[in-house]
Amino acid sequence: MMGETVAGTWRCAALVVAVLCLLGAAEATAAPLEEPRAAIRRYALLVGSSQGGAGREQLRYTGSDALALSQVMEELGGVSAGDRLLLLEADRASVVTAISRMRQLTASAQPSEGRKELVFYYSGHSDAEGLLPRGELLPYAELRRLLSEVPVDVRIAIVDSCGSGALTRSKGGIRRPSFLSDLSSQVRGHAFLASSSADEVAQEADSIGASFFTHFLISGLRGAADANRDDRVTLNEAYQFAYHETLARTERSQSGPQHAAYDIQLAGSGELVMTDLRGSLARLNLAEDVEGRLFLRNWGNQLVAELQKSSGRSLVLGLDPGRYHVTLERPGKRFEAELVVASQGDAVLRAVDFVPMTLVRTAQRGGNGPPGEAVASVDTPSVAMNLSLIPPLATNTLLGPRSLNHVSIGVLAARSLQLRGMGLAAGVSWVDGTMEGLQASGLVNVAGGEVWGAQVALGGNLAFGDGQGVQVASLINSVEGSFTGLQLSGTANRTEAVMRGFQMAAGVNAAETLKGVQLGLINLAGDATGTQIGLINVGNEIRGLQLGLLNIADDVTVPIGLLSIVRKGRLSFEVWADDIALLNLGLKYGSRHVYVLIGYGAQPWKKTYRSFTHLGLGLHVPFAPQHYLDVDLSWGKWHEKLSEKSPSHALGQMRVMVGWELKRRLALFAGVALHYYDVPKETEDRSVSWLPQWEVERGPASDRLWPGLLVGVRI
């Protein structure tokens, strides 16, 4: 009996071993025969420099472009945080030092770590000779040499700047129609990509908040360039996508079409994969039935990706987890959708998820016809009146949740897909798309699309598209796009893009670009054409007036304030003598042509000193390489005694001076003045000047007028 049990046990064990062997053989047979891939360690050096030196316009998106590419390379491109260097507003020395640091970092890596790759990215100014970080030349030949000294197997240089195509002119290089083609990974050499040809400008735009080339390169790396749908984006796919999209978007721009260029010298074979979407934290799957041009924005309204999607094929994008707004454009039609892309798993966007929008009003350029009327993109279901307690308990819910309303009245809250007419709510008035007419509420008005009319609220008004009309609120008015009209708030006004009109707030006004007037306690603007009036005014390039206690700007036409800090302005110290004071000290500060004058003077008189103080405003006009004309008006006082209490006398001055610049920081000047003495009734001082004086009117204390002379030195 025991023998039979032992024999049975052995038979079962043999059967199990046989089954396992068969399963192993079957699995080995079914597995695809893939060539093992070498491990890759990728390094990245990314540089953004907005300043290009004297005479070159400051760029706006170099830093954000470098940061955006850095994030993509870390999320999808296999670059770890320790192998990445990000330089913002770097000069030539910083770039050279960073390449040296990268050389040391790559040299310290173990040989067993496999192939090493370096990605170098530069966004900023350049010319036909080389890069211009902060206006300092780094020749292309030197850049190539520095990169070649970094001990890696593959070097990828991406230069997004004007004339960067000069970098791709290599000696002895072979241009290939595509980068790589087969499936192995034995690649050595370099690939240089340039955003423009050698005689073209690289362009950026406020509408996308980036440069065209980098914007489309990043869109491609996130998956838009994945032509063969293998969830990997190669260097060839990314370049081809960025090339064609950049060319298409710039063909009709003022600067002309922008053609990207490349120089490839790679030995071996294999596709050079730039990003792997399979490793993305969050993925968005665009379904086969989605067709048209897609604009994908995160919840901070940043344009994350832009692409043309054809029907019949799905497409995967690698994204950050979060909430996104997607706009779909087709000829004469526009749709939108909102969705959440969560980590660990794919979110799917289908055609049925989109709702119609209203197209933007446009006017013909160069034509005499009237502005175009707003036209609905598709036939939208219409419910004339929406009566709502809260959005689920509303006539829109019963008659058509995605509806166009002409009148919408809510007790606590009301929500419409679109509104053309009037929307009233005691609490919240919400429109998903375009609002045309009047939107009024006790708390908040929200328009998810464009606003054409008026928003009035006791709390705040929010518009997530462009707008034209009036926003009035006790707390805040905010527009995510451009706005034309009036923003009036008790606390703050904000326009994310271009503000054309008038912003008035008891607190803060903010606009990315201002074409009009800001009146508030604090005014903030990027570039501006118009006027800022407030306690504190801050801007970049201001073509107009800053009037306040403190003015801060890169450049401004007319700054008037107690303190004006202008980076491209002038600050000079002057010492002079004139007919009323033997020694005068003055400070001139302001813009290149308008300055504020603060002066103090002293004159010996009766065993003590007269003291003079004055404050004024002047105009500086260079009329030759080393000569200039200054004209200023000032008003001040003088005291008969330097330290003791004494009566004060009022004095106005107009001065005209001609200066001769001996050196950059040294000038001599001389001129004439016209003095006006407002004579007090009891303490007239006739000896204030040794020059003859004329009485303006007859009487015991008549005001006096006389010409004066002055000579001095400017430091």
233-286 pLDDT, tens digit per residue, is 988 889 889 888 888 877 766 667 777 777 766 665 567 888 998 878 789 999
Residue 276, beta-bridge partner list: 232
Q: Report the alpha-carbon distance of residue 140 to residue 129 in Å, rounded.
A: 6
pLDDT value at 26 more than 60: no
Distance set, CA 109 to CA 21, 112, 557 (Å): 42, 9, 54
Between 255 and 458, the higher pLDDT residue: 458
Distance set, CA 335 to CA 325, 330, 378 (Å): 11, 8, 9
The alpha carbon dihedral of 488, 494, 497, 498 has a sign of positive
Per the CB < 8 A criterion, the answer to whether 568 and 555 are in contact is: yes
In the predicted model, what is the mean pLDDT of the chain? Answer: 82
Tens-place pLDDT, residues 51-89:
888 778 888 888 888 999 999 999 898 899 889 999 988
Per the CB < 8 A criterion, the answer to whether 442 and 426 are in contact is: yes
487 Cβ contact list (under 8 Å, min separation 6): 470, 471, 477, 479, 493, 495, 499, 501, 502, 503, 504, 505, 509
Residue 705, beta-bridge partner list: 676, 694
Per the CB < 8 A criterion, the answer to whether 72 and 86 are in contact is: no
Token digits for 517?
């007037």
What are the backbone angles phi and psi of residue 72, rounded to the nearest 5°? -65, -45
Tens-place pLDDT, residues 500-552:
999 999 999 999 999 999 999 999 999 999 999 999 999 999 999 999 999 99
- Residue that has been written with the tokens 């520095």 in this structure: 146
Q: Report the alpha-carbon distance of residue 143 to residue 136 in Å, rounded.
A: 13
pLDDT value at 637 more than 60: yes
Domain boundaries, the chain: 40-170+187-278, 283-356, 382-560, 569-714
Residue 587, beta-bridge partner list: 573, 598
What does DSSP say about strands 232-234 and 315-319: parallel, antiparallel, or unpaired? unpaired
Q: By percentage, how much of the chain surpasses pLDDT 70?
A: 82
Q: Report the alpha-carbon distance of residue 601 to residue 614 in Å, rounded.
A: 9
Residue-level pLDDT at 221: 92
Terminal CA-CA length for the chain: 118
Whole-structure pTM over 0.75, yes or no?
Answer: no
Between 122 and 203, the higher pLDDT residue: 122
Token digits for 167?
């970098």
Between 182 and 328, the higher pLDDT residue: 328
Q: Among 510-519, 563-572, 584-593, 694-703, where is mean pLDDT lowest? A: 694-703
The alpha carbon dihedral of 306, 310, 313, 314 has a sign of positive
Q: Report the alpha-carbon distance of residue 535 to residue 523 in Å, rounded.
A: 8
Per the CB < 8 A criterion, the answer to whether 459 and 443 are in contact is: yes
Q: Report the alpha-carbon distance of residue 483 to residue 511 in Å, rounded.
A: 10
- Indicate the fold that domain 569-714 takes in CATH: Porin (2.40.160)
Q: Report the alpha-carbon distance of residue 570 to residue 592 in Å, rounded.
A: 6
pLDDT mean over 364-378 = 37
What does DSSP say about strands 204-205 and 460-463: parallel, antiparallel, or unpaired? unpaired
Distance set, CA 177 to CA 45, 155, 216, 263 (Å): 27, 19, 20, 11
> Among 414, 417, 421, which residue's Cα sits nearest to residue 393?
414
| pLDDT tier for residue 684 given thresholds of 50, 70 and 90 | confident
Could you confirm whether domain 283-356 is CATH 2.60.40?
yes
What are the backbone angles phi and psi of residue 79, rounded to the nearest 5°? -95, 120
Per the CB < 8 A criterion, the answer to whether 593 and 603 are in contact is: no
What does DSSP say about strands 492-505 and 508-547: parallel, antiparallel, or unpaired? parallel
Q: In 3-state terms, what secondary structure has residue 450?
A: coil
Residue-level pLDDT at 6: 35
Q: Among 114-123, 622-631, 683-692, where is mean pLDDT lowest? A: 683-692
**The domain 40-170+187-278: what is its CATH number?**
3.40.50.1460
Q: Is 329 exposed, middle or buried (0-12, 13-18, 19+ CB in 10 A)?
A: middle
Residue-level pLDDT at 510: 96
| Cα 505–Cα 508–Cα 509 angle in degrees, nearest 5 | 75
pLDDT mean over 199-207 = 69
One-letter amino acid for residue 152 of the chain: V
What does DSSP say about strands 382-390 and 393-394: parallel, antiparallel, or unpaired? antiparallel
Tens-place pLDDT, residues 378-435:
345 577 888 989 888 888 877 755 568 899 999 999 988 888 899 999 999 998 878 9
Across 7-21, 169-183, 603-617, which has the greatest mean pLDDT? 603-617
- Residue that has been written with the tokens 């006539």 in this structure: 395
Residue 566, beta-bridge partner list: 553
Q: In 3-state terms, what secondary structure has residue 231?
A: coil
| Cα 640–Cα 643–Cα 647 angle in degrees, nearest 5 | 35
